[in-house]
Amino acid sequence: MTVRLPASVVAKLQRAADLTYRTVDDIVATTVDAALTAPPSVPESLAAEFAAMHLLSDEALWAMARPSLSSAGQHRLRQLNHAAGERNLTEAETSEQTALLEEYHMSVLRRAQALAILAQRGHEIPFRAPLENSVDDQSFDSEITT
């Protein structure tokens, strides 16, 4: 297999190999493996997706950095969170709230991973811009009451 790399990347690889007393081949293999392996704290359901995200274009990653919970989902989650503060939720409401929270949390993880990869690629990450329009003004760490 032949891989063409910019001279600046080859220089970085050679410098890393020299500093660690390893071969460039070993540095490349270790780096690629690490880049394509999700951290152990990531749920299994997202591990393969996170690994594949390293192969996406910058444009695709910027698209993933936008909130993915629909406006209707955000609105319903706000309603359920408000209701949970006022009364005990029904079993159906609790299930719905749990599902929406799971969807929201997975969206946050995907967005964070996309932004992390973009930052690794040298992009400047706006502090709040891609995160706006997320479900706001509600605490998602509150207990689910049944």
| Average of per-residue pLDDT across 69-92 | 94
Please tell me the predicted confidence (pLDDT) of residue 1: 86
Please tell me the predicted confidence (pLDDT) of residue 87: 96
- The single-letter code of the amino acid at 92 is A
**pLDDT over 70 percentage in the chain:** 86
Model-level pTM? 0.64
| Average of per-residue pLDDT across 90-108 | 94
pLDDT surpassing 60 at residue 13: yes
The percent of the chain in helix, strand and coil, each rounded to the nearest 5, is 65, 0, 35
How far, in Å, are 5, 26, 51, 54, 55 from residue 32 at the CA level? 14, 10, 10, 10, 11
pLDDT surpassing 70 at residue 76: yes
pLDDT surpassing 60 at residue 137: no
Please tell me the predicted confidence (pLDDT) of residue 63: 94
- 8 A C-beta contact, residue 70 and residue 100: no
- The single-letter code of the amino acid at 108 is V
- Report residue 121 as tokens: 């690629």
* Residue showing tokens 């997202």: 46
pLDDT surpassing 90 at residue 90: yes
Please tell me the predicted confidence (pLDDT) of residue 80: 96
